[in-house]
Structure formats: structure tokens, C-alpha cells
Structure 1
């Protein structure tokens, strides 16, 4: 069984310093509250990722770190991948297909529109990932290379404003 978590970064500041590079945009207060909130929800479900892979953009990495802390995953063990910053769904699938098959539960933290696109491709039930949404896909397979070809056995979507 392979479980893939797609996590869209928490709410980021769009109106801050116009001279600030996009990669450096910080989370808003809401984003700083939502990320640990989603982490606590994942912890209650017993989520223990083998790998957290994040975009290097500040808003994604801060989201990943907040979630990691609630899951007893050392923030310094989070790996970053530039391809998660600017990518298309096919490039995300390439990253997933390249994962070590020894890993069972992997969390990717990144951005729309690529995360929306991939989530919808994996399950037509998902049409949009709000900020700080977590889409969980469980696949009855032993290889990450099957993701995108095999249908998920189970799909869950959670996000901060969901009751």
C-alpha cells in the first residue's frame, strides 16, 4: 500500500512588500494558524509520513514544518525540491514515480495549479484544493511508478474550513 498526501501551502500574503520575491512570500496569520491545525487533524488519524518533500518557497516550507512538528517528524528532515515550486501535474508524477519503493507514506507540499491538476487527475472527486488542504490517496500497489495509472483505493480531502 502506498499513501500519497498532497498538501497545498497555507494562506500566503499577497499584498505585502511588492519588492519581496515570490519565493519569499510569508504566510498570513490565518495560514500560520491553519497549518498546525491541519497537522493536528492528521496526527489524530495516526499519519506518520516516511518522507515530507516540500517546495523551497517560504510559504510551502513553513507549512510543511508546522505540519511536521505535529506529526513528530523532525522539520530538519524535510527535503526540498525546486520542481515542486513551479511544475505541472506530469512533473509532479515524475517526482512521485522516482520515489524509493521502500517508502510507504509520502507527503508533498506545494502549490496550485499543479496540485489541483494532479489531485483531480488522481480522483475526479477532487476539483479544487483550498489553501492548506490535504488530499490523501491510498493505492493498493507496491510501487510508486503505478501512481497515476492505478486508481486510488481510498481518497480523503480535508481543509481548514471543513467542519
Structure 2
């Protein structure tokens, strides 16, 4: 069995218009939402084997904050393919995860993450910033994940806890 946590980056700032989209930091709400969702995951006793993140600053920072809350002591994998990815690219990133890892987090962006969750489990809701979609797959290898063996376990986001 494999578990995938699809996590959208926390709320980012549009304050500095001279920054590229890739370099936008978290805003105040994002800085409070990321540790909150880390605390939620810790409360559920979630312990990832691997974390794969977009290298865009807002996704990278969200991954770092949540990994710290979970005492994740391995290196976060930054995969440039996640930034502005479509569903096929995201599926390929996940399918290439280490077969030894049972629980993988992927931090990224919409609309790609929405499309990934919709294609795997038919989730038609928008994943809000810092939203976490937990999926379980009845298979032994990441390369075998598909809609046929996928199950939605939970869908959490900061407003549920405020």
C-alpha cells in the first residue's frame, strides 16, 4: 500500500510586483497556515518517507515549514518538473518515487494539483492554499498507482481549523 499527500503551497504574496512568479514568498496568512497544517498532520501521526516539492519559493517554504513540524530529517527533493506541471507530468513525478517509500508528500501548485486529485479520485473541489489531499493506493509500487487502485482518505485545509 502507498499513501500520497498532495499539498498545495501556502498563501503567497503579490506585494512585490518586481518578483517573478517563481520567486514569490509566503504572505502573513501563508506563514501561519503552513505550521497549522503541519500540526494537523503531526496530530494524525503522519510521517512521510519522502517529500518532493516544486522549487518555487512559496512551495519550497511550505514544504520546509511542514517538514520541520513533522521532524522530517531527510533531504527534501526539489523537482523543477512540478512547477507549472500538468497532470501527466505530476503523475510521472509520483510514479518515479522510490519504491521503498510508502508515504510521499508532493508540494506544488494549482491547477496541476487539482487535476491530479481529480484524475485519481474524482475530487472536484478546489484545493485551497495549504490544502492537503490524502490518497491511498492498493499497490506495492508507485509505478502502479492509478484511478483504479486509488482511494480518497481525507481532504484538509486551514479554514477547517480556524
Superposition TM-score, scaled by structure 2 size? 0.94
Alignment-derived partner of residue 153 in structure 2: 155
Q: What SS is found at the alignment partner of 1:101?
A: coil
1:58-77 to structure 2, matched below 5 A, reads 58-74=57-73, 77=75
> CA–CA distance in 2 between the matches of 1:99 and 1:144?
6
Where do 5+ consecutive residues of structure 2 fail to align? none
Measured on the aligned residues, the alpha-carbon RMSD in Å equals 1.3
Alignment-derived partner of residue 141 in structure 1: 139
> CA–CA distance in 2 between the matches of 1:65 and 1:133?
15
> CA–CA distance in 1 between the matches of 2:116 and 2:159?
22
Distance change in 2, residues 1:116/1:6 (3 Å): same
Q: What SS is found at the alignment partner of 2:119?
A: helix
Counterpart pick for 1:111 among 88, 104, 109: 109
Aligned length in residues:
161
Q: What SS is found at the alignment partner of 1:162?
A: helix
Alignment-derived partner of residue 4 in structure 2: 4
> CA–CA distance in 2 between the matches of 1:25 and 1:99?
27
Distance change in 2, residues 1:154/1:114 (3 Å): closer
Q: Please state how far the C-alpha of 1:154 moved relative to its aligned partner.
A: 4.2
> CA–CA distance in 1 between the matches of 2:30 and 2:98?
31
Q: Is the 8 A contact 1:139 1:152 kept in 2?
A: yes
Q: What SS is found at the alignment partner of 2:129?
A: coil
> CA–CA distance in 1 between the matches of 2:124 and 2:157?
12
Q: Once the two structures are superposed, what CA deviation does each residue of 1:23-70 show, in whole Å capped at 9, x if it has no partner?
A: 110101000000010000000111000001110011001000110011
Counterpart pick for 1:99 among 97, 100, 104: 97
> CA–CA distance in 2 between the matches of 1:145 and 1:19?
40
Distance change in 2, residues 1:20/1:125 (3 Å): closer
Superposition TM-score, scaled by structure 1 size? 0.94
